[in-house]
Amino acid sequence: MTKFSTDNVTITLPISGKEVVLRGFVTKRMEVATSSVFMKHSKVDLTQAMKGDSSGIDMISLNDLPGTAITELTETTITNFVISLDGNDFGGNKEDILNACYELPSKDFDAITDKCHVITKGTSFDEEKKRP
């Protein structure tokens, strides 16, 4: 069995050369924050819920997910994964970290979110989804 790692991940950004330290795993808080973005824009069919025989997925409708949800998800990802940018942890202030990331060149920002997605896939306990 592959050992689950809780080590932080450090990447060097391709344009600025700055170092970013990312949380190396997904916490429950991250899962809830991401789910909250979807749930905020979804509709729940309470009649399905009352039946009690639903797996839960039948109760939720995401037909009208606004495009702004993608921005919310990106910001949730940055604020939950980025620990420090070029050695600065901004006193743990997530908004300051997010704002600093927004001031980076676009390719650097994309490199951060791309690595976060790799980490997200790699922290699954499903052997086929393990981080390379």
Whether the Cβ atoms of residue 94 and residue 86 lie closer than 8 Å to each other: no
| In the predicted structure, residue 130 carries a pLDDT above the cut 50 | no
| In the predicted structure, residue 48 carries a pLDDT above the cut 90 | no
21 vs 48: which has the higher pLDDT: 21
Question: pLDDT tens across 49-75, in order?
Answer: 666 655 555 666 666 677 788 899 999
Letter string b/e over residues 108-123, b meaning 16 or more CB atoms within 10 A of that residue's CB: bbebbbebbeebbebb
Q: Which residues pair with 21 in a beta bridge?
A: 10, 84
9 vs 46: which has the higher pLDDT: 9
Averaged over 32-50, what is the pLDDT?
A: 75
Residue 68 structure tokens: 């702004």
* Residue 21 confidence class, pLDDT cut points 50, 70, 90: very high
What's residue 115's pLDDT?
Answer: 95
Axis crossing angle, helix 94-102 with helix 106-122, rounded to the nearest 10: 130
Residue boundaries of the structural domains of the chain: 9-26+66-129
Question: pLDDT tens across 82-128, in order?
Answer: 999 999 999 999 999 999 999 999 999 999 999 999 998 865 444 44
What's residue 61's pLDDT?
Answer: 64
What's residue 12's pLDDT?
Answer: 98
Q: What is the model's pTM?
A: 0.75
